[in-house]
Chains A and B, each alone.
Chain A
Amino acid sequence: MRKLDYTTIFFILMGSFLFFFVLIPIVNLIVSANPEVLLSNLQDQEVVSALFLSIYCALAATIIALLCGVPLAYLLARDDFWGKGFVESVIDVPLVIPHTVTGIILLLVFNPGGIFGAPLSHIGLTFNDAIPGIIVAMLFASSPFVVNSSREGFESVDPRMEKVARTLGSGSLKTFFIITLPLALRNVVVGSIMCWARAISEFGAIVILAYYPTTAPILIYRRFVDFGLTESIPVAVLLISVCLILFLIVRLLISGWKTYDKD
């Protein structure tokens, strides 16, 4: 076997602390759950509807993030414009502020008297303790994943390839859909799944903006406060399983996706 130098050994030692610090609690949670209790929880209407609500709202938030985030990502990847740095910073802000603050920010504008909430309430959209509230909270916190990952994908497509497509008679929007997007699709999909998983996990903003209807992270919190640790574990295991499955899909996509420029 190759002899490791002391620097490598030292770095492995330090690095593995972090690795096990993350891994052990997750594994511990999963093995500490009683399978029978898990099964009975899966039949609990409250648990199932909370899980579905989380998945469904997160999906809606992801779709909105895709529709608006992909065009924005393309602009950021291709064009240099005045204030670009500012736009980039604004997009990343949700990643660095506390999620409870996100909740407060959103509550201010989406309450029935707020600058977004007031006009939208005229068309029957309410956000306080309602599904649209859950979705906007998720969207705000998770959209940077879609924008940043898609942008990376677009940057990897040579703009000259688009130009060649255009000389061959393809309009600029068409070129985007048949050349650029297919080549950047892996990044867009990975970004979307990250966004989706992050949205499912969202707690801080939702607890302030839309405590009801109950999403899975809120349900876990409530069971913990009302009944203690043992009652919250099964729901936690179910939720983490959903997130891990999504995460696993991302990892598989990253490693297995056919890339056209490499063997």
Chain B
Amino acid sequence: MIKIENLCRDWNEFQIDHVNLDIKTGEYFVILGPSGSGKTLLLELIAGIWQVDSGDIYMDGENVTWTPLEKRGVGFVYQNYMLFPHKTVFENIAFGLNMRKVDKKEVKERVDNMMKLLSIDHLAHRLPRTLSGGEQQRTALARALIINPRVLLMDEPLSALDRKTRDGLTHEMKELHQKFNITMIHVTHNFDEALSLADRIAIMKEGKISQVGDTTEIFRHPKDKFVADFVGVENIIKGVASKYREKLTVIDTENISIYTTEQIVGPVHVTVRPEDIILSNKKVETSARNVFEGKITEISDNGAIIKLTIDVGEPIIVFLTRQSFIDMELNIGSHVWTYFKATAVHAF
């Protein structure tokens, strides 16, 4: 368990301001914030890279606020991995064990196992500069994990990777988290990443934590406009994805079935942009694969745009122009049909 109490640090140009966090053992905790919000600095404070001005950090009940970083037992993975360029992949991963004076034979055994686990065993004797981004990231993860850290701290670990590698690694990090049963704190500005990985999310803004909660809480009930704007999604629904047929995936939310063209299986989050949803008073023939009937439960007037919440089994938010809204003569309780294409559904 990691407990952070009233953490403050002033760098003149920037400050971390009274941060309180409670991270449970084995939790995948994501700190989400725009760039310049101080997420990396907070992570570095937890690691002990900077000293705090005031406040306390507890790990497993022990106050580590003044423990030097080499004795804190944290793993740290930076965005640019920071592999030691003059050491091979094997030597990079073995570094932490060698510092602990682990017996040579055991080092070899443990590093080999770790490399196998991350499928980088064929790279053992390569130097970091010859590796791809994904391979470097795996090496950095292996190097941090091998010392069995109390917590693994990761600063934007996926953002330097291309989309495809990132998706693969996201999945793998989830698996690693379960396999090692390790507490992870992951800093990112990307909410897809946060959604697919986090048990809980903290939103950070200008050196302060503005909201902490599980994914649904954060995305469904953003505490303030900043969070709402930052996470920037209106329709977000949880479900389980399975293959429906060639090039089509069905997501079962327990209440409705949503179709998407994205290839994914397992527990997912689904987002649909309100502007991709078509609304009508009666059922019409369209090519849209997702057709749901529902009742309007909420109408909010944002000036030129009217925002409607429609209960189709799951709440769905739709935007209408004022003119269409008036033409359709809609009210709370009105029956409507919603249509959106399978290509408009984003699952992750």
Which residues of chain B are within 8 angstroms of A165 by Cβ–Cβ distance? 84, 95
Q: Is the CB of A182 within 8 A of B86?
A: yes
Does any Cβ of B come within 8 Å of A44's Cβ?
no
Q: Is the CB of B74 within 8 A of A167?
A: yes
Does any Cβ of B come within 8 Å of A164's Cβ?
yes
Q: Is the CB of B74 within 8 A of A161?
A: no
Which residues of chain B are within 8 angstroms of A263 by Cβ–Cβ distance? 129
A247-263 with Cβ < 8 A to chain B: 260-263
Interface size on A, residues (CB 8 A): 21
Which residues of chain A are within 8 angstroms of B80 by Cβ–Cβ distance? 158, 160
Considering only CB atoms, which chain B residue lies closest to A263 in the complex? B129
A114-163 with Cβ < 8 A to chain B: 158, 160-161, 163
Q: In the bound complex, how far is the Cα of B99 from the Cα of A182, in angstroms?
A: 17
B-binding segment of A50-58, A98-106, A168-176, A232-240: A168-176
- State which of A167, A170, A262 has its C-beta within 8 Å of the C-beta of B129: A262
Considering only CB atoms, which chain A residue lies closest to B75 in the complex? A167
Q: Is the CB of B74 within 8 A of A260?
A: no
Q: In the bound complex, how far is the Cα of B321 from the Cα of A121, in angstroms?
A: 94
Which residues of chain A are within 8 angstroms of B86 by Cβ–Cβ distance? 182-183, 260
A93-112 with Cβ < 8 A to chain B: none
Q: How many B residues are at the interface, by size bracket? A: 20 to 34
Interface of A: prevailing SS:
helix
Does any Cβ of B come within 8 Å of A222's Cβ?
no
Q: Is the CB of B78 within 8 A of A260?
A: no
Which residues of chain A are within 8 angstroms of B44 by Cβ–Cβ distance? 163
Q: Is the CB of B78 within 8 A of A164?
A: yes
Q: Is the CB of B72 within 8 A of A167?
A: yes
Q: Is the CB of B84 within 8 A of A161?
A: yes
Does any Cβ of A come within 8 Å of B277's Cβ?
no
Q: In the bound complex, how far is the Cα of B153 from the Cα of A168, in angstroms?
A: 12
Q: How far is the CB of B243 from chain A (nearest CB, A)?
A: 41
Q: Is the CB of A169 within 8 A of B100?
A: yes
Q: Is the CB of A168 within 8 A of B143?
A: yes
Q: In the bound complex, how far is the Cα of B69 from the Cα of A168, in angstroms?
A: 9
Q: Is the CB of B85 within 8 A of A261?
A: yes
Which residues of chain A are within 8 angstroms of B99 by Cβ–Cβ distance? 168-170, 174
Considering only CB atoms, which chain A residue lies closest to B81 in the complex? A164
Which residues of chain B are within 8 angstroms of A158 by Cβ–Cβ distance? 80, 82
Considering only CB atoms, which chain B residue lies closest to A171 in the complex? B70
Does any Cβ of B come within 8 Å of A166's Cβ?
yes
Does any Cβ of A come within 8 Å of B41's Cβ?
no
| CB within 8 Å for A164 and B76 given contacts A169-B70, A169-B96, A169-B147 | yes
Does any Cβ of A come within 8 Å of B117's Cβ?
no
Which residues of chain B are within 8 angstroms of A168 by Cβ–Cβ distance? 70, 95-96, 99, 143-144, 147
Q: Is the CB of B70 within 8 A of A167?
A: yes
Does any Cβ of B come within 8 Å of A179's Cβ?
yes
- State which of B48, B78, B147 has its C-beta within 8 Å of the C-beta of A160: B78
- State which of B85, B147, B149 has its C-beta within 8 Å of the C-beta of A183: B85
Q: Is the CB of B69 within 8 A of A163?
A: yes
Does any Cβ of A come within 8 Å of B47's Cβ?
yes
Does any Cβ of A come within 8 Å of B278's Cβ?
no
Q: In the bound complex, how far is the Cα of B72 from the Cα of A168, in angstroms?
A: 9
Q: Is the CB of A260 within 8 A of B129?
A: yes
Does any Cβ of A come within 8 Å of B256's Cβ?
no
Does any Cβ of A come within 8 Å of B330's Cβ?
no
Q: In the bound complex, how far is the Cα of B75 from the Cα of A167, in angstroms?
A: 6
Q: Is the CB of B82 within 8 A of A160?
A: yes
Q: In the bound complex, how far is the Cα of B95 from the Cα of A22, in angstroms?
A: 50
Does any Cβ of A come within 8 Å of B127's Cβ?
yes
Q: In the bound complex, how far is the Cα of B69 from the Cα of A261, in angstroms?
A: 26
Q: In the bound complex, how far is the Cα of B72 from the Cα of A169, in angstroms?
A: 8
Which residues of chain B are within 8 angstroms of A183 by Cβ–Cβ distance? 85-86
Which residues of chain A are within 8 angstroms of B74 by Cβ–Cβ distance? 167
Q: Is the CB of B84 within 8 A of A179?
A: yes
Q: How far is the CB of A48 from chain B (nearest CB, A)?
A: 41
Does any Cβ of A come within 8 Å of B160's Cβ?
no
Show 13 residue pairs from A and B whose CB-CB distance is below 8 angstroms, ordered by the A residue: A160-B80, A161-B82, A163-B44, A163-B82, A164-B143, A166-B70, A167-B75, A168-B95, A168-B99, A170-B95, A183-B85, A183-B86, A260-B129
**What residues of chain A have their CB less than 8 Å away from a CB belonging to chain B?**
158, 160-161, 163-172, 174, 179, 182-183, 260-263
The 7 closest A-B pairs by CB, nearest first: A260-B85, A169-B99, A168-B96, A167-B76, A161-B82, A164-B82, A166-B70
Name 6 extra pairs, CB < 8 A, besides A160-B80, A161-B84, A168-B70.
A161-B82, A163-B76, A164-B143, A166-B68, A171-B70, A172-B70
